[in-house]
Amino acid sequence: MRWLDRLGLAVATLWLALGAANADTTVKWLHIEANPAQVKIWEEVARSYEAAHPGTRIEMQFLENEAYKAKLPTILQSKDRPNIIYSWAGGVLKSQIEAGVLEDITDQIKGYSDSLTPAALAAFSRDGRIYGLPTALSQVGFLYNKELMAKAKVDAAGIKTWDDLLAAVKTLKAAGVTPIVAGGADKWPLHFYWTHLAVRIGGKAAFDAALRGENGGFAGETFQKSGELFKQLVDLQPFQNGFLGFKNPQAVGYFGDGKAAMTLAISTVYHLQRALAADKKGLAEDQIGWFDFPMVPGGKGEPSDTLGGITGWLVTKGSPKETVDFLKFFVSKDVQTRLAAGNFIIPVVKGADAGLNNAFMKQIAANLSKSRYHQNFYDQSLGPSVGRVVNDVTAEIAGGSMAPKDAAEAIEAAWKQGN
């Protein structure tokens, strides 16, 4: 059995070779950014940090958004986990803090934290301790293709109410234009409709009441009505053919290819569509318009209320101290101004919004600063498992397999189950 011995030897050698560690400090940074133009800037920042700090290596790792969310719970359990992870704050962050997998960075960023927008920083704090650094804000609303809207003679600026939107969809369909593109396979792009309707119908009060379990919780009237209004839209078949099979990047690319008139999306899609369009050029800036999510007559929400994200970076437990140092370097006025100038983000560092040089981004920044109720994405703010149920049921409404009432009740049931 000499071959067995030889094989054993080979395996052992291999093992040793793999185990050979390198002596430098490596900061592993896991991100989900699909826009190569933005990643390029990040990389430049990382390289310049390395140049200034010999012996420290910044290693960037990428996971696609959906894969990231599915994988994160297991990633965090690995002892080899990345040091910097992406976060949308909210309930998911809360459960990560409770699980004790995050580093409390309050003391390490003392002084520096004053440079950040307080509301954004608050999203990454709990009980006065800070667990991450915010990096960007975003708003959810309708992006539209000016050319297609004009072709169907729809006045986008005139879409103020939900009924206006339904009418616009009908007109677009009649003109042979695909009204809306949505990445239904990922589910969360659909949950924007249901959530934003709830923001419009019930306002902040309804959400807070539901969290306390009042008024029937998430099975209450506000949330049932959100489902019903969403159903009205779904019944018009406004989405592209096969929308339930489209992942979000495909849907964004579809919009960038000019194949659909509208998309309900995060404001960053304004730029992302270029990278994901088939020709890598997408729609020119002057071809895209924006209108806020329409109002619902009789709704308690304010027109200035917004739905969107506060995104940032978390530091995982046991990371080298260089991690926070790099993050401070990364979320600095200088870098944020640069990213704002590229119109990639609405910055969170005070004064960095001076870098915004594009009318669209300026408008979003103005919306967000005007907003007194900025609702974080439900699928994040309600925690990892309830949030996923919100996504599940909105996809079911969109697929016609679940009634709005049942959907609301399913969310409430999940909320009561907890976790």
Partner 1 sequence: MSDIDTIRPPFDPAVLYKTLFLAVVAVLVLVPLLATVLGGFKSLGELRINPFGLPQHWEWSNYADILFSQRYWQLLRNSLIISALTVTLTLITASMAAFTFAHVTFYGSSMLLSYLTLGLLFPAATAVLPLFIKVRDLGLLDTYFGVALPQVAFSLAMSVLLLRRFFKDLPPELLEAALMDGCSYINFFRYVTLPLSRPILATVGTITFVHSWNAYLLPLVMLNSDALYPWPLGVMVYQGEYSSEWHLILAFITLTILPTIILFIFAQKHIVAGLTAGAVKG
Partner 2 sequence: MRRRADSLAPLTAVQPQPAWPAALRGLLADNRLAVLVLFLPPALLLFTLFVVLPIGEAAWYSGFNWNGFGRPTNWIGFDNYRFVLQTRAFWLALRNNGLIIVVSLLIQLPLALALALMLAERFRGAVALRMLFFLPYILAEIATGLIFSFVYDGDYGLVASIWRLFGAETPHLLASTDTAMLAVLIVIVWKYFGFHMMLFIAALQGMDRSLIEAARVDGATRAQLLRHVVIPWLYPTIRLSVFFAIVGSLQLFDLVMPLTRGGPADSSNTLVSFLYNNGISRMRVGYGSAVGVILFVICVSFAFTYQRWFLRDE
Interface residues with partner 1 (CB under 8 A)? 1, 4, 7-8, 11, 14, 18, 61-64, 66-67, 71, 74-75, 77-81, 247, 249-250, 253, 276, 278
What, of partner 2, partner 1, none, does residue 249 touch, CB below 5 to 8 Å by kind?
Answer: partner 1
Nearer to partner 1, 5 or 127 (CB): 5
Kindly tell me the sign of the dihedral angle through the C-alpha atoms of 386, 65, 310, 77.
positive
Identify which of 393, 411, 378, 308 has the alpha carbon closest to the alpha carbon of residue 92. 378
Which of 64, 80, 67, 84 has the alpha carbon at shortest distance from 135?
A: 84
Which partner from the list partner 1, partner 2, none does 22 bind, CB cut-off 5 to 8 Å by kind?
none
| Residues 272 and 250 sit within 8 Å (Cβ to Cβ) | no
Quick check: 73 binds partner 2 (CB under 8 A)? yes
- Give residues with Cβ within 8 angstroms of 243, minimum separation 6: 181, 182, 183, 184, 251, 398
Among 99, 150, 354, 359, binds partner 2 (CB under 8 A): 99
Residue type, 384: P
Binding-site member from 50, 69, 188, 314 for partner 2 (CB under 8 A): 69
Query: Least distance (Å) from partner 2 to the CB of residue 102?
Result: 11
**Contact (Cβ atoms closer than 8 angstroms) between residue 196 and residue 189:** no
Residue 99 binding partner per list partner 2, partner 1, none, with a CB distance cut-off of 5 to 8 Å that depends on partner kind: partner 2
With CB cut-offs between 5 and 8 Å by kind, which of partner 2, partner 1, none does residue 418 bind?
Answer: partner 2
Residue 369 interface partner, choices partner 2, partner 1, none, CB cut-off 5-8 Å depending on type: none
Query: Is the C-alpha dihedral spanning 245, 247, 252, 257 positive or negative?
Result: negative
Q: Which stretch binds partner 2 (CB under 8 A): 106-114, 227-235, 339-347, 384-392?
A: 384-392
Cβ-based neighbour number of residue 101 at 10 Å:
18
In whole angstroms, give the CA distance from residue 207 to residue 199: 8
* Residues at the contact surface with partner 2, assessed by CB under 8 A: 69-71, 73-74, 76-77, 95, 98-101, 184-185, 187, 241-246, 384-385, 388, 392, 395-396, 398-402, 410, 413, 417-419
